Chain A
Amino acid sequence: MKVAQDLRTGNVVLVDKAPMVIQKAEYNKSGRNAAVMKFKFRNLLTGTNSEAVYKTDEKFEDIILETKEVTYSYESGDMYVFMDEEYNQYELSKDDIEGLLKYLEEQMPCDVTFYEGKPISVTPPVKIVREVVYTEPAVRGDTSGKVMKPGRLPTGFELPVPAFVEIGDKIEIDTRTDEYVSRVK
C-alpha cells in the first residue's frame, strides 16, 4: 500500500479494483498543515481519463509493473520518444506524460512503465536539477529561505523559490511535490 502523497506520475494504482495509471500528480498544501493530491488518471482497462482529489494520507494498493530505464530523445509530432540502452524506442503521447512535460529536456533519464507489453507512462527521477531562467532580482540579506518568489524553468513552468535565488542558478527540485529543495553550487 502507498499513501497518496508518495504516488507520482507513472505509478499504477488500483481504484475500486480498476488499474489506473497516474498521468499527472499535483500536491497542494491545504489548511492546518494538511495537504491534498490531485491526480489525472487513465483507466488501463477502458482507456478513459479522469481526475480525482484525495487527502495525502489516503491509502492505495499500488501495482508493480515492468519498468525500464530510458532517456528522452525527441518529439515527433504529437508523440514523445524515449530510448533505452539497447536503442529500443518507445513512443508516448502528450497525455501519457503530461505530468512530466514541465521538466522534460533531452537526455533526461526516466523510467518507462509497461502494461501488457505497451508503454503507458514515464516516471521522472524523484530529484532533478534545473536552471532558473527567470526570476525577480534576488533580495539582498535574505538568506533564510523563508521568503519565496516565482522562479521559471526552461520549460516555462514556475515554482516558488527562495528570495536569494538568481537567474542562472541551478536548483534541485522534488518532482513529487514540485517543490524547491536546494540551490546547487
Chain B
Amino acid sequence: MDFPRSVDIFCRVVDNFGDIGVCWRLAYQFAKEHSLSVRLYVDDLGSLERIVPDYSALCSASFYVVRWVDDLDYSNAADVVIEAFACDLPPNVIEAIVRRGGEAAWIDLEYLTAEGWAAGCHGIPSTHPSTGLKKSMFFPGFSETSGGLIRETDLFERRNEFQSDINAQNLWRTAYDLPQFDENFIDISLFSYKSAPIPSFFDDLSSYKSPVRVFFPSNEGFCVEKIGALHVHRIPFVPQDQFDYLLWTCDVNFVRGEDSFVRAQFAGRPMIWNIYVQEEDAHLIKLRAFLDLYCAAFSPEERERLAESFKLWNQEGQTEVGWWHGYLDRLPAFQSGAAVWSDHLFGQPDLAHRLLAYAYNNNILKNKG
C-alpha cells in the first residue's frame, strides 16, 4: 500500500479519559506498527499525561503530540485527517485539506456502538456541502462490516503469555501493592462511573460464600478495607499501558465507557460494562444492541442472567440482594463465553488496518467530485 503515509488526529477531551484514550492508542499504533508520520492534536495535554505519563518519551520526529489551541498553526494536511468523535475541525484545518486538492482523506471517527444503523452509516463517502470534499464517518464495531476495534497486532500473544505466567502476574501485582494470585480468591477489577450501584454490589460480595478481592483504581491511593468476605484494594490510577495487565490478571472486570470496555473484551475474561449515560436513555438502547451480540457467545442458559447483570449495573439504586452471588456462581460458564467472544473479535482485522485500507481502497485520496 503506497498511501497513506501520514495521519493527523484531532481530539477534544470532553470529559474523563475515553476520547484521548482512544486517540492516543490509535495514533501510537499508526506510528509504531504502520510506520506512518503521525501528529496527534489534543486540547488537553493534562488528560493525556494522566493516562500516558511518559508520552513525550514515546514520541519521535515523525510521531508527536501538538496542543490544540484556538489559533492553531496548521497549513499542511496529512494524507488522512481524522476528526475524532465529531470534534469539529477549525476552518484553517479544513482549508488545508481543501488545498490538498482532494488528495487527503477526511474521516470522522465515531463512537463505538453495536446498533444496526451504524453499519448502514459506516464508511459512506459524503460530499461536504460547502467544500465539496468527501468526508466519511467511520464507525468502530464488532462485525466484519463495521470499522472494527482498536487492537495492537501483538495483543493476543502478550495476553496469553501473561495469563499463563503466574510469576509475571505476581510481579505486576507487587508493583501495584496488590495481593499475590491465590486460586481461593475471586479477583475483580472495578472501573465505573459514580452512577453504578457500588454500595449494594459491595454488600452482596461481603456475604459471598468465598473470599472476593476487588481492585479499585481511584484517586485515594493505596488502601485496603475488609468487609466480611470482601477485600477492597484501592490502588492509584492505572496508566493505559498497564491497564491491560489489571484486566488480564482478574477473574472478572467491571469496566466503563469505550476504551476499557473494548480492552476488557480482548482480555477474554467475564466482564460487566458501565455505559456512558446519554439523554433520553439512548444508552440503554446501545446496551441492548451490544448484549444481543455479546450474549450470543454464551450458552443459552446463561444469557438471561448475564444480560440482566449488565442492565442492573447500569441502574442506580439497590440491586436485588444476592444477585451478584448468582453471578459469581456462574463464573466458569461466563468464562467460556467470554473466551469465545474474545476469539471472535481477534479473528477480525483491527480498526487501524481497516481505516487505512478504507482510505486506500475507496480511493478517497483522489476524492474530489
Binding site for B on A (CB under 8 A): 13-17, 26, 28-34, 36, 38, 50-55, 58-61, 146, 148, 160
Binding site for A on B (CB under 8 A): 14, 85-86, 108, 110-113, 115, 117-118, 120-121, 124, 126-132, 136-137, 258, 276, 278-282, 284-285
Closest Cβ–Cβ distance, residue A90 to chain B (whole Å): 28
CB <8 Å contact, A33 and B129: no
Q: Which of A14, A52, A61 has the most CB of B within 10 A?
A: A52
Interface of A is mostly: strand
Residues of B within 8 A of A148 (CB): 281, 284-285
Q: With A15-B127, A53-B126, A58-B129 in contact, do A33 and B110 touch (Cβ < 8 Å)?
A: no
Q: With A33-B279, A34-B111, A146-B281 in contact, do A28 and B117 touch (Cβ < 8 Å)?
A: yes
CB <8 Å contact, A55 and B86: yes
Knowing that A16-B129, A17-B132, A29-B282 are A-B contacts, what are 16 other residue pairs whose CB atoms are under 8 Å apart, sorted by A's residue number? A14-B129, A26-B117, A30-B110, A30-B113, A31-B85, A32-B111, A32-B278, A34-B85, A50-B127, A52-B124, A52-B127, A53-B137, A58-B128, A59-B129, A146-B281, A160-B285
CB <8 Å contact, B117 and A54: no
A146 to B283, CA, bound (A): 11
A53 to B119, CA, bound (A): 12
CB <8 Å contact, B113 and A55: no
CB <8 Å contact, B278 and A29: yes
CB <8 Å contact, A13 and B129: yes
CB <8 Å contact, A36 and B129: no
Contact of A16 among B14, B113, B117, B128 (CB under 8 A): B128
B112: nearest chain-A partner, CB-CB: A31
Closest Cβ–Cβ distance, residue A141 to chain B (whole Å): 16
A60 to B126, CA, bound (A): 13
A39: nearest chain-B partner, CB-CB: B126
CB <8 Å contact, B126 and A31: no
Q: With A29-B282, A148-B285 in contact, do A34 and B129 touch (Cβ < 8 Å)?
A: no
A148 to B118, CA, bound (A): 20
A107 to B124, CA, bound (A): 36
A9 to B302, CA, bound (A): 44
CB <8 Å contact, A55 and B117: no
CB <8 Å contact, A28 and B129: no
Residues of A within 8 A of B132 (CB): 16-17
Q: With A33-B278, A33-B279, A34-B86 in contact, do A53 and B129 touch (Cβ < 8 Å)?
A: no
